[in-house]
Amino acid sequence: MTFSEPMRRRCLAVILAAGEGKRMRSRKPKVLHELAGRSMLAHVLASVATAGADRIAVVVGAGQEAVAAEAKRAAPSAEIFVQSAPLGTAHAVLAAKAAFAEGFDDLLIAFADTPLIRPATYSNLRGGLADGDAAVVVLGFAAKDPKGYGRLILEGDNLIAIREHKDLHESELGLDICNAGVMALAGQHALGLLESIGNTNAQAEYYLTDAVAMARTRKLGAAASRVAADEVLGINDRQQLAEAEAVLQSRYRADAMQAGVTFHDPGSVHLSFDTELAADVIIEPHVFFGPGVSVGAGSVIRAFSHLDGAKVGEDCIIGPFARLRPGAELSAGVHIGNFVEVKAARLGVGVKANHLAYIGDATIGARTNIGAGTITCNYDGFTKFKTEVGEGAFIGVNSALVAPVTIGAGAYVGTGSVITDDVEADALVLARARQIQKPGWAKAFRAKHKK
- The catalytic residue positions are 355
Among candidates 106, 104, 159, 161, which has minimal Cα distance to 129?
106
User: C-alpha dihedral over 139, 145, 147, 150, to 10 degrees?
Assistant: 0
Among candidates 70, 5, 69, 10, which has minimal Cα distance to 40?
70
Q: Is residue 421 classed as helix, strand or coil in its secondary structure? A: coil
Half-sphere exposure at residue 180, Cβ-oriented, CA atoms within 13 angstroms? 34
Buried-exposed string 40-73: b where 16+ CB fall within 10 A, e elsewhere: bbbbbbbbbbebbbeebbbbbbeebeebbebbee
C-alpha 140/C-alpha 243 separation (Å) is 20
**Exposed, middle or buried by CB within 10 Å (0-12, 13-18, 19+), for 80?**
middle
Strand partners, 353: 336, 370
How many residues in total does the chain contain?
A: 451
C-alpha 234/C-alpha 116 separation (Å) is 9
- 149-154 long-range contacts, Cβ below 8 Å, gap at least 24? 149/178, 149/179, 150/178, 150/179, 150/209, 151/175, 151/176, 151/177, 151/178, 151/179, 152/177, 152/178, 152/179, 152/224, 154/224
H or E, element range at 178: strand 177-186
